Amino acid sequence: MAKGSNVAVPASAVRVELGWRSGPGVPDADASALLLVSGKVRSDADFVFYNQPTHSSGAVRHDGKVTTDGAVTDTLFVDLARVEPVIETVVLAASADGGAFGQVPGLYIRVVDAATGTELARYDSTDATVETAYVLGELYRRQGAWKFRAVGQGYSSGLEGLATDYGITVDEPQHAAPAAAPQPVTPRAPQPVMPPPPPAAPPTAPAAAPVQLTKVTLTKSAPTVSLTKQGGTSGAMRVNLNWEVRKQFSGWGSKRGRATAMHRDLDLDLCALYELADGRKGVVQALGNAFGALHQPPYIHLDGDDRSGSLATGENLTINLDHKDALRRVLIFVTIYEGARSFADLHATVTLTPLNGAPIDFSLDECTVPSTVCALALITNTGGDLTVQREARYLVPDRGVSPQRTVDHAYGWGMNWTPGRK
């Protein structure tokens, strides 16, 4: 599609893929969506992005980012049938982290029928320069039907500029005012007695909390962040693992070949080894139905066992940071229960979302060894400082040794293991 052109969208639900090529010096980017009425959001809740991934209506959500062989895709899901009738436009945008979109090669947006996988529209952007936030397209209503328009316009003021232009209230960092210089004390003349002030006006309802735009991405060169310094050491912290299976060619039914998805019954298990402050140790995992507990030791709970491989859900566990003093260390790891012999064709993203403070995310590196267990992140409480360290460490079990025992040995947990089943 050319910039400014439009096309009908004959689908009840679509996946919107924002893609580009990664490489040295290429900024990271994040997809977002704004639901508009008369060109503005109704409230900050109409902004869907990494810190607020699902709209209250359930019609729009941020599904997450996947990297495959240097190609990056960040996906939004839009259930057009569920978009509230008052919403006229869904703006589809991206923000750059660490540079401008002129440094992002192969930038494009693609709209795909969520039910069939059929591509409905694609716009390749070739003229971005200094923009750090970019509107690639929009879904809009015309005479009761949905259409897509290629936009290709941006802001040099980043995600904050984009958000505020559409009516979002952005939380700005607070800086302490410098202390005033001490003033000399001088005697004061007697003051006349004043009548008492009139009663204060009743307090008004507090304004809605502004949107937090910050996030933390852990990398090999910067693998650690302090939850304490981020102010994220209370409430429930959500840990999410989502993944995508690379499609492979498994046969040649025609000259072009026939692509089929491998690992259809793939089952990954998100797990956590824990050590409490009183020395007790254990594991939270689906195997053996050891799902843990949120409001009693170990203060870690596994939500369930997802076999879908869905980016929208994935595997989730929750850590109750209101009891952080009871936790000494927590190692979050993932095992392949069935459906694959290694992580070689799996591309996963880990996101830790504390109730307070910025979300923390990272992607796993490409797996080049026959690994069936991967240590994801290590949470450590040292002297009251709660830190998260990116591990992204693939481990190869010895013959006859379970993945759980392998990760235990690598991190010195020293537990006894017996066979278990789901």
What pLDDT shows up at residue 265?
Answer: 65
Contact 108, 97 (CB under 8 A): no
> pTM to 2 decimals?
0.58
The rounded distance, in Å, linking the Cα atoms of 169 and 260 is 46
- Residues pairing with 72 in the sheet: 20, 67
- What does the alpha-carbon distance between residue 16 and residue 11 come to, in Å, rounded to a whole number? 12
pLDDT at 130 (0 to 100):
92
Question: Residue 351 belongs to what H/E stretch?
Answer: strand 346-353
Q: What are the phi and psi torsion angles at 183 (to 5°)?
A: -100, 145
pLDDT of residue 246: 54
pLDDT of residue 192: 46
Q: How confident is the chain (422 residues) per 10-residue block, as mean pLDDT?
A: 95 96 89 94 90 89 84 94 96 90 95 95 94 94 94 88 85 44 44 50 49 77 84 90 60 31 66 96 92 95 65 79 95 90 84 86 87 95 90 93 94 87 62
The residues, ordered by sequence, that sit 6+ positions from 198 with a Cβ below 8 Å of its Cβ are: none
